[in-house]
Amino acid sequence: MPILKRTNIAIDLGTANTLIFKEGEGVVLNSPSVIALRSDRGRIEVVALGKAAESMLGKTPANISAIRPLKDGVIADFKATELMLTGFIKEVTGGRWLRSAPNILICVPVQATQVERRAIKEAAQSAGAKAVALIDEPVAAAFGANLDIDEPKGSMVVDIGGGTTEIGILSLGGLVYSSSLKVAGNVLDDAIINFIRRDRGILIGERQAERIKLTVGSVHPGASSSSMNIKGLEAASGLPRNQVVSTEDVYNATVEPVNAILRAVSSALEAAPPDISSDVLRDGMVLTGGGALLHGLPQRISEFTGVPCRAADDPLDCVVMGGGKILSEMKMKNFQKVSER
Ligand code: ADP
Ligand code: MG
C-alpha cells in the first residue's frame, strides 16, 4: 500500500477572518469568514465563499443568503460553518484530501463551552478531518507573536478580533489567567453606526462604518485629526446625503466600548498572581488580532494601565502562525490524545 503523507493544518476560525496554515508551507488561506448559500426546494448549495461571499453581504435576492456563520467567536449556524470549513479545507488541500484526510488543529476562544467545542470539532470532522485538536486562542496568539511563553515567566497577550477580545496571561506554555469579552471590532463598528444616526441623523451600514474606523479612526484623544466624506441616507427623509466624519467623531463614538476593553485589561492585571504580573508590568503586553491595528490603542492601553503595550508584528496572522508552530511541535500521538478529549 502506498504511504500517504498526511497533511497537517492549523485553522484560525475567526468571527471575521479564517486563516489556514499548512505544515511545511505557511499561511495558505486568508479569507473573510463568509459563505453564500442558495436554497432550492430544501437543497442547499454553496454559491460563494470568502471574499466573493463577503461582497454579497446585504445584497442577495430571496433564494440566496450571504452569512457570517460565526458570531462572537462561536458557531451561530452549524451547517453553514461546516460547509464553509469544508470549502476552505478543499481549497488548501486541492480536494485530494479524501485519500489523505488532514489532521486539523483549530484555535478556539477560551470562553467556548464544551458544547461549542464539540460543535467546532464536529464541523471539522464533517469537513473531512482525520483527527481534530483544539487549542486556546490566546496561547496560539502568544506563540504567533513570538513571546517566549515556555519560560517560567509571565507574559500577556490581548487578542482583539471581530467578535471578541481575549485576554491571556501565560507562563510555562499555559494560561494562568484568561478572560474574554464580547466587545471587539464589530461592536466598535456598531458604535459608529449609532453615533452617526444619533448625532447626524444619517443611516450607514456596517461596511461603511468599518471603513470609517480604518480610515480616520483613533481611540486616543490626542491623535492628529483627519476627516473623510461619507454618503448615507438621511433618517428623516430617506434621501441620500453627504456628511463629513472626523477622527474626533470616531473617538467619541467608540469611547464606551474602548473603555470596556481597558477595564478588562486592568482586571486581568489585578487578577494574575503577583510574581507573574510583576513580569508583565516590566515586560509589557502584546496586542494581536485586527483590533491591534486600531490607531492609538497600544498607547491608550499603556497610559490607562501604566503597563507597556505594543502591537505584534502582523497581528492578523498571530493566531494562525502560533497554531502552525504548535502543529509542528505536536507529535501524531499527541494529536490523537488531544482529539479524544
Ligand atoms: P477574528 O479573529 O474575529 O476573525 P480578526 O483578528 O481577523 O478577527 O480582526 C478583525 C477585526 O479587526 C475587524 O473588526 C476589523 O474591522 C478590525 N481591523 C482590521 N484591520 C484593522 C485596522 N487597520 N484598524 C482597525 N481595525 C482593524
Ligand atoms: Mg481571531
Q: Which residue has the cell 490581548?
A: 158
Name the nearest CA neighbour of 213 among 294, 312, 310: 294
For 288, the grid coordinates are: 494581536
Distance from the alpha carbon of residue 15 to the mean position of ligand 2, in angstroms: 7
Distance from the alpha carbon of residue 16 to the mean position of ligand 1, in angstroms: 7
Per-residue DSSP letter, 2: P
For 154, the grid coordinates are: 509571565
Alpha helices by DSSP H, listed for 145-284, are 185-200, 206-216, 247-271, 274-283
**Identity (one letter) of the amino acid at 70?**
L
The ligand 1 atom at the shortest distance from the C-alpha of residue 14 is 4
The ligand 1 atom at the shortest distance from the C-alpha of residue 188 is 14
Contact 113, 18 (CB under 8 A): no
**Phi first, then psi: what are they for 183, rounded to 5°?**
-125, 115
3-class state of residue 276 by DSSP: helix
Name which residue sits closest to atom 19 of ligand 1, judged by CA. 290
**Identity (one letter) of the amino acid at 163?**
G
Distance from the alpha carbon of residue 99 to the mean position of ligand 2, in angstroms: 30
Which residues are bridge partners to 160 per DSSP?
165
Say whether pTM exceeds 0.85. Answer: yes
What are the residues whose beta carbon lies below 5 Å from ligand 2 (ion)? Answer: 14, 161, 289
Longest dimension (CA), the chain: 72
Digit-by-digit pLDDT tens for the chain (341 residues) are 455 567 899 999 999 999 999 999 999 999 999 999 998 888 999 999 999 999 999 889 999 999 999 998 788 999 999 999 999 998 998 766 556 788 999 999 998 899 989 988 998 998 888 899 999 999 999 999 999 888 999 999 999 999 999 999 999 999 999 999 999 999 999 999 999 999 999 999 998 999 999 999 999 999 999 999 999 999 999 999 999 999 999 999 999 999 999 999 999 999 999 999 999 999 999 999 999 999 999 999 999 999 999 999 999 999 999 999 999 887 555 665 555 44
What are the pLDDT digits (tens) for 223-281?
999 999 999 999 999 999 999 999 999 999 999 999 999 999 999 999 999 999 999 99
Distance from the alpha carbon of residue 141 to the mean position of ligand 2, in angstroms: 8
Q: Is 103 exposed, middle or buried (0-12, 13-18, 19+ CB in 10 A)?
A: buried
Pocket test for ligand 1, best of 11, 12, 15 (most atoms within 8 A of CB): 15
Q: Which residue has the cell 474602548?
A: 258
* Residues framing ligand 1 (Cβ under 6 A): 14-17, 161-163, 185-186, 210, 213-214, 289-291, 293-294, 316
Name which residue sits closest to atom 14 of ligand 1, judged by CA. 185
Which residues have C-beta within 8 Å of that of residue 270, sequence separation ≥ 6? Answer: 277
Contact 110, 168 (CB under 8 A): yes
Give the orientation angle of helix 137-144 with respect to helix 318-329, to 10 degrees. Answer: 90
Distance from the alpha carbon of residue 14 to the mean position of ligand 1, in angstroms: 10
Contact 250, 257 (CB under 8 A): no
